[in-house]
């Protein structure tokens, strides 16, 4: 009978992923590719917003998009119709992407001819926030119908994001959405957060988002 | 399913450690879960039972969970308090300039192997 041994591991589960994410960021820096991680709840308007951003930026920078979903390819098809390179990633039931899965996706997408890679994460405010994907910047979309109290309910995602897009501003009169309160709650979680109110359907406010994004891309790829 | 992803991470890390130590089988794994780590222990256990059965070196591997308490620090009065009970606002002075000291960990503490 073999002897039972206790091996002390003392390893953080997130640590391995964090290391992989840092390595991926270093690689992207060398390759001069900027990676954006886009997060939101399902239905907040990630793909519609992305469409508006692509229309404005596709002649200024070379864009590649990875659409992550549990199943289906509707998003990748919608993005491909915009005339940029896009692939669909399936997470096989998992609620988020980690750095290893993101790297696989980037390899499949091919980054040699991409300056601005966008990862549209699985629609979810909880799990994607916990796993560093290796992205250079994180951005999230909160839509008006979801309510202004979300920074209180899902604090982590507001902490890890660099910018917050507030979408569906065209319907704000029909909802009890308090713009001052959402800003107050969001800044409580993250005082450095950039906030952009937009309407992805009409394109209102999207120019400001694009200016910020293009600035980030050029800064990283210098 | 959030817990499932974390289970996969734990299994990968444990298999690596087991291989480094020339282990034939992993009998049990002890993890430390922070009180506010967003991982629900009972879901984690269910995912664990299913997932370890797919790995020969870990069949019937037991999972032992230690819960680590969540403690928040107040920058204004420099005192600490229990996060779960009081949340973001300091119960000593009412300030909301507080941050989490411990409680969002998810560590693999030790493994038992043959």
Query: Which helix or strand (DSSP H or E) is residue B71 part of?
Result: strand B71-74
Residue A1: predicted pLDDT: 59
- Residue in A6, A7, A13 closest to B107 by CB: A13
Beta-strand pair A85-90/A163-167: unpaired
Task: Tell me: pLDDT of B71 over 70.
Answer: yes
| Residues from chain B contacting residue A7 (CB–CB below 8 Å) | 17-18, 21, 23, 110-113
* pLDDT at site A129: 86
Q: CATH topology for B2-68+102-113?
A: hypothetical protein PF0899 fold (3.30.2320)
A59 burial level (CB within 10 Å; 0-12, 13-18, 19+): exposed
Asked if A47 and A84 touch (Cβ cutoff 8 Å), the reply is no
Domain edges within chain A? 13-221
Q: Is the pLDDT confidence value at A173 over 90? A: yes
Q: Does A70 touch chain B (CB under 8 A)?
A: no
| pLDDT above 60 (res B1) | no
Chain B residues with CB within 8 Å of chain A CB: 1-2, 4-6, 9-10, 12-14, 17-18, 21, 23-24, 27, 31, 38, 88, 96, 105-114
Joined tokens for residue B108: 């693999």
- Return the pLDDT at B84: 92
**Where do the structural domains in chain B lie, given as residue ranges?**
2-68+102-113
pLDDT category, A163, cuts 50, 70, 90? very high
Q: Residues A13-221: name the CATH superfamily.
A: P-loop containing nucleotide triphosphate hydrolases (3.40.50.300)
How many alpha carbons fall within 13 Å on the CB side of residue A46?
26
Give me the interface pTM, i.e. the ipTM: 0.83
Distance CA B41, CA A25 (A): 32
Residue B96 pLDDT grade (very low, low, confident, very high; cuts 50, 70, 90): confident
Query: What H or E segment, with its residue span, contains residue B3?
Result: helix B2-20
């Amino acid at each position: 009978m073999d002897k039972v041994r206790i091996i002390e591991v003392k390893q953080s589960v997130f640590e391995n992923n964090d290391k992989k994410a840092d390595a991926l960021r270093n690689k992207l820096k060398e390759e001069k590719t900027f990676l954006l991680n886009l997060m939101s709840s399902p239905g907040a308007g990630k793909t519609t917003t992305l469409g508006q951003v692509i229309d404005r930026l596709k002649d200024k920078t070379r864009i590649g998009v990875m659409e992550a979903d549990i199943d289906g390819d509707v998003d990748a098809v919608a993005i491909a119709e915009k005339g940029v390179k896009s692939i669909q990633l399936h997470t096989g039931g998992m609620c988020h992407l980690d750095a290893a899965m993101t790297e696989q996706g980037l390899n499949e997408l091919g980054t040699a001819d991409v300056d601005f890679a966008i990862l549209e994460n699985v629609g979810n405010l909880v799990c994607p926030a916990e796993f560093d994907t290796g992205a250079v910047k994180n951005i999230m979309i909160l839509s008006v119908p979801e309510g202004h109290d979300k920074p209180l309910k899902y604090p982590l995602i507001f902490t890890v994001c660099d910018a917050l897009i507030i979408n569906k501003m065209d319907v704000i009169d029909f909802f009890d959405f308090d713009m001052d309160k959402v800003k107050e709650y969001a800044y409580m979680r993250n005082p450095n957060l950039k906030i952009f109110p937009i309407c992805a359907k009409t394109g209102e406010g999207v120019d400001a988002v694009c200016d910020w994004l293009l600035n980030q891309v050029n800064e990283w790829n210098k | 399913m959030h817990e499932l992803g974390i289970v996969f991470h734990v299994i990968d890390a444990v298999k690596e450690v087991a291989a480094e130590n020339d282990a034939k089988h992993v009998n049990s794994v002890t993890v430390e879960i922070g009180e506010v780590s967003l991982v629900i222990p009972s879901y984690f256990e269910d995912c664990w039972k299913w997932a370890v059965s797919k790995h020969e070196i870990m069949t019937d591997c037991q999972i032992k969970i230690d819960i680590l308490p969540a403690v928040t620090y107040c920058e204004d009065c420099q005192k600490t308090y229990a996060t779960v009970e009081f949340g973001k606002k300091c119960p000593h002075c009412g300030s909301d300039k507080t941050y989490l000291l411990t409680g969002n960990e998810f560590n693999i503490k030790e493994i038992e192997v043959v």
